[in-house]
Amino acid sequence: MTFSRRLFLQSATALAVLPKAVRASSTDLVARKAIQQIAPDGFPETPVWSYGGGVPGPEIRLAQGARLQRRLVNDLPQPTTIHWHGIRIDNAMDGVPGLTQDVVKSGGDFRYDFLVPDAGTYWYYAHNRSVEQVARGLYGPLIVEEAEPLDVDHDLTLMLDDWRLDPETAHIVDDFDNGHDQSHAGRLGNLVSVNGQFDPAFSVRSRDRLRLRLVNASNARIYDLSLDGLVGWIVALDGMPLETPMRVEDSFPLAPAQRADLVVDVEAQPDKVAGLVSREREGAFGLVRFAVSGQSARTGQPSIAPLPPNPLPAVTLDSAPLHRMTLQGGAMRWLESAHLGETLLSGRELVQLGRFWALNGYAERPQDPFLDAQRGSVHRIEFVNETAFPHAMHLHGHHFRLILADGRLGPWRDTVLVERGQTRQIALVADNPGDWLLHCHMLGHAASGMMSWFRVT
């Protein structure tokens, strides 16, 4: 038996209860082993690694500008840390081992304590041996609320994950360092879950208005999302409001670590099912179902107001220097050579060490920063993808603006998808002091060479 998605789609699970916004009362996040039903009913349960006993970990919700305090307690057999993705955070709280903190050893703990300046949809996850720890389930949502809540009937956080499960035992296949995955598209799985469940369903009314907070927690899968029986707008990307909400006409990509906030109206009639669908090369598959019963008195609106802006810096490109970062290596474009520290190694030697990728000729985080920026200075970074695969490039501690093909400034993001053969420019205001990681968010790529960093002083 294989875990075909079609099979999974036929074995529908029970209607899920709409989650209430749980305000975690405890200030501890305990990283520990747990058991969870990830595969459809009838399959065995899956041993996972979790924050607090479930995948995803508890939804942390707080007001914009509030202070987040959580003690990470490590009850796992491996050292770990937590990274708070997309938060323009105090550098010491960024959770990067060897750059901003020491690993938290088994039995140890660490107190995270920082302010959240921006409203939006963020997430947290393990940043030590992420290729294994995130694949085992160490992630959760972090929601920073706007001062005025949106007028919606349901505010739903939907965390997408892609699991590689043994079809007989439903155990996670533990080949995290598989060289074929790492040198190709990364670790792709055979079961997609939403909020740690296969094919969950939510109960809604026709004409209900929903806010969907989509988070891609997958190691490597890029979703191509479209709506079925729903109409609506993207109102924020990577947490940051769009100046003009974008109508969802067709499909839109969601790369690893990226988020999209949607406001959608349920167009499907009572007794029908609406849904969120991913259209990928192998075919389309449903991620979430919305079972429609009854009708709301709402009337659809032709447009929607933007979310209030976050306190982001102004971007002036006039004299901004350009820094090129070349993405190199991987299958079909194998590295001829690259540096590990001071040493230049041949492609063959690098492959033997499990290094398949390089950023500007370095197959690991280099000694010197890619960019040494004066606080407040503006920079253009140009990602040149010379590889045969897409990469989701993520900068820590900052959001940046995409520079569109015609030179205008595009949306704010913290993770940019650079397709194979593509060149993409971003504009960065380096206004957050510290040492910040810059890496590919296909976690197997990061583990096998695609890591760099920049410094702001």
Minimum distance of Cu ion from residue 382's CB (angstroms): 17
Minimum distance of Cu ion from residue 182's CB (angstroms): 10
Minimum CB distance to Cu ion smaller for 150 or for 388: 388
Minimum distance of Cu ion from residue 454's CB (angstroms): 18
Rule CB under 5 A: say whether 325 interacts with Cu ion: no
Reduce the DSSP state of residue 69 to 3 states and report it.
Answer: strand
Tokens at 347, concatenated = 């492609």
Angle at 394 between CA 393 and CA 396, to 5 degrees: 155
The number of helices, as runs of H, and strands, as runs of E, in the chain is: 5, 33
Minimum CB distance to Cu ion smaller for 196 or for 329: 329
Sign of CA dihedral 170, 171, 172, 175: negative
Q: Please tell me the count of residues contacting Cu ion according to CB under 5 A.
A: 4
Minimum distance of Cu ion from residue 384's CB (angstroms): 13
Helix (H) / strand (E) element for 351: namely helix 347-352
Minimum distance of Cu ion from residue 300's CB (angstroms): 40
Site string for Cu ion, 180-219 (x = CB under 5 A): ----------------------------------------
Minimum distance of Cu ion from residue 421's CB (angstroms): 14
Rule CB under 5 A: say whether 31 interacts with Cu ion: no
Site string for Cu ion, 335-374 (x = CB under 5 A): ----------------------------------------
Site string for Cu ion, 130-169 (x = CB under 5 A): ----------------------------------------
- CA distance between the termini of the chain: 56
| 384 alpha carbon, distance to own chain's centre | 22
Minimum CB distance to Cu ion smaller for 79 or for 179: 179
Minimum CB distance to Cu ion smaller for 96 or for 443: 443
Helix (H) / strand (E) element for 445: namely helix 443-447
Minimum CB distance to Cu ion smaller for 209 or for 355: 355
Minimum CB distance to Cu ion smaller for 207 or for 394: 394
Minimum CB distance to Cu ion smaller for 211 or for 445: 445
Minimum distance of Cu ion from residue 240's CB (angstroms): 23
Q: Which of 139, 276, 121, 119 is nearest to 196 (CA)?
A: 139
Rule CB under 5 A: say whether 391 interacts with Cu ion: yes
Tokens at 217, concatenated = 């927690």
Instruction: Kindly report the number of other CB atoms within 10 A of residue 248's CB atom.
Output: 19
Minimum CB distance to Cu ion smaller for 213 or for 391: 391
Cβ neighbours for 385, distance < 8 A, ≥ 6 positions apart? 327, 391, 418, 419, 420, 421, 422, 423, 424
For 299-338, give the DSSP string: ---S--PPPPPP-PPP---TTPPEEEEEEEESTTS--SEE
What part of residues 423-452 is at the interface with Cu ion (CB under 5 A)? 440, 442, 445
Minimum distance of Cu ion from residue 72's CB (angstroms): 27
Distance CA 280, CA 253 (A): 10
Cβ neighbours for 118, distance < 8 A, ≥ 6 positions apart? 64, 87, 88, 144, 239, 240, 310, 311, 312, 399
Minimum CB distance to Cu ion smaller for 135 or for 194: 135
Task: List contacts with Cu ion (CB under 5 A).
Answer: 391, 440, 442, 445
